[in-house]
A and B are shown apart, each in its own frame.
Chain A
């Protein structure tokens, strides 16, 4: 029973990290604190004037007639051509914050290439992945989840 709970808890952390990329990595067994320290600071989102924001919602009546759960947010950054969509959480407020952070990360990627924070992070992750061995079960779960999330990304964003 105990072990079962722990494994569930850990899985939650893993999947949330995959989705949100925001949870601090400190305190997790799989990530020694020293690599958290190496990480450069998170880049700041650009000023609000530089991008446009759209809340994705389907056609249809809206208001009281439907109880939709869609909270998707789309940002378009004209200067770079970046378009991104965030529907990670049920909270639009939260998704708006996540979207701004993602935009900041991508802009930094463009600017700094493999010296950007996210590039360094991916490199660290890759290294860890190759040393991982007996995590197949968990990995399978995660893959399934990523597949699901990816399916969601390619969808039309329509809401019924």
Chain B
């Protein structure tokens, strides 16, 4: 990690004696200035905590010192905004990322735009009065962490779909407990409609699934942000704050299994298996880490398509979404990639961030 230039620290000290501390944590000027402001606002707004005997200035200094050691701002403040929601963040559970927020919103927008198609495919009702008899739109999020994806999908889809059934699975009991708390809190604050059908369960997706769990996977939409970092990149490409403070279980796959793929890709092999061979999901969306992984995951999908008899390449389409799938692509950003002689459309701007496989039962342009 390169040292911060002395001149930068001096410049920071002139503005506030606390800014150099925050700068040590953020490593960039802009974020340091923003984060110090947010920390100050946080201290000013929370006057009832147990350490309220300390002066606000003292409390602010303590928080800045924690940030200087690399502790993520989201753990210090205890939350991360996600769409219209506020997600509680605690050590032991991965902090939701802005890219995850972006593709979740984009997916919801896509489903809302094609809601008629989705409703006829699923038999979900267009009419609120027949709510009880209609089939719900069913979504499963694998590796759900804080629960940010199921909760945001619900908040964005519940106006269009009167019946929704969303599940989140995670191997970690800590994560599942936090997701349930996030669910309750966001309902309590009025960010989610009353009594939504969302559930979180402890499930190891590599274990032998129960028949109930298998039935759950026959859903309409399968989505996942699984651990996808190799040991090598964990050591060299993650920031100090991620490496030292966030759970490795959430980042690096630690599975020995029979899939013949790279260790960092095992979750994708499992997800694709679920999508084609177990479930009948219309959409499978998987977050990925970089360009090479995107291409490898597309190949895993194509291999499975070729092998499985029922579904072939003609009836499925594969897309890649960038960090900001809703934005126009920048100059020089490719809008398609040719992988194994098949042209794969690439949407949006930024780095490659998600691989999406859809059954071609509806028009694909949003």
Contacts and interface: CB of A to CB of B under 8 A. Distances in A.
A9 to B, nearest CB: 8
A89 B287 CA distance: 26
Given A57-B350, A66-B238, A71-B98, A148 B28 contact: no
Contacts of B41: 12, 15-16
Contacts of A27: none
Given A62-B351, A65-B242, A92 B101 contact: yes
B289 A67 contact: no
A19 B40 CA distance: 13
A111 to B, nearest CB: 27
A109 B229 CA distance: 49
B239 A66 contact: yes
Interface residues of A, number: 46
Contact of A63 (B15, B30, B289): B289
A52 B328 contact: yes
A87 B28 CA distance: 15
A129 B98 CA distance: 40
A93 B156 CA distance: 13
A67 B30 contact: no
B31 A68 contact: yes
Contact of A8 (B30, B47, B94, B353): B47
A152 B44 contact: no
B145 to A, nearest CB: 11
Given A62-B323, A63-B97, A66-B239, A158 B30 contact: yes
A159 interface: yes
A67 B95 contact: yes
A121 interface: no
Contacts of A68: 31, 97-98
Nearest to A15: B41
A90 B47 contact: no
Given A93-B84, A151-B15, A53 B327 contact: yes
Interface string B67-91: 0000011100100110110000000
Contacts of B102: 55
A67 B327 contact: no
A90 B111 CA distance: 27
Interface string A50-91: 001111011001111111111110000000000000010111
B37 A148 contact: yes
Contacts of B40: 145
B26 interface: yes
B333 interface: no
Given A63-B353, A92-B101, A160 B31 contact: yes
A54 B327 contact: yes
A70 B80 CA distance: 11
Contacts, number: 141
B35 interface: yes
Interface in A4-54: 5, 8-9, 11-12, 15-16, 19, 52-54
Interface size class of B (residues with CB under 8 A): 35 or more
Contacts of B130: none
A152 B327 contact: no
Given A68-B98, A92-B98, A8 B44 contact: yes
A125 B32 CA distance: 30
Contacts of A67: 72, 74, 95, 97, 239, 241-242, 246
Interface string A146-157: 011101100111
Interface in B46-81: 47, 56, 72-74, 77, 80-81
Interface string B218-254: 0000000101110001000111011000100011000
A144 interface: yes
A94 interface: yes
B56 A8 contact: yes
B44 A69 contact: no
Contacts of B98: 55, 57, 68, 70-71, 92
B45 interface: yes
25 contacts: A11-B44, A55-B102, A61-B289, A61-B351, A62-B353, A63-B97, A63-B290, A64-B250, A65-B239, A65-B242, A66-B241, A67-B242, A69-B31, A70-B34, A71-B98, A72-B30, A90-B38, A93-B83, A93-B84, A145-B40, A151-B29, A157-B30, A158-B30, A159-B28, A160-B26
Interface of B: 15-16, 19, 26-31, 33-38, 40-41, 44-45, 47, 56, 72-74, 77, 80-81, 83-84, 94-95, 97-99, 101-102, 225, 227-229, 233, 237-239, 241-242, 246, 250-251, 287-290, 323-324, 327-328, 350-351, 353
Given A19-B37, A62-B323, A63-B353, 14 more contacts: A63-B97, A63-B290, A66-B241, A67-B74, A67-B246, A68-B31, A90-B38, A93-B84, A147-B15, A155-B29, A159-B28, A160-B28, A160-B31, A160-B239
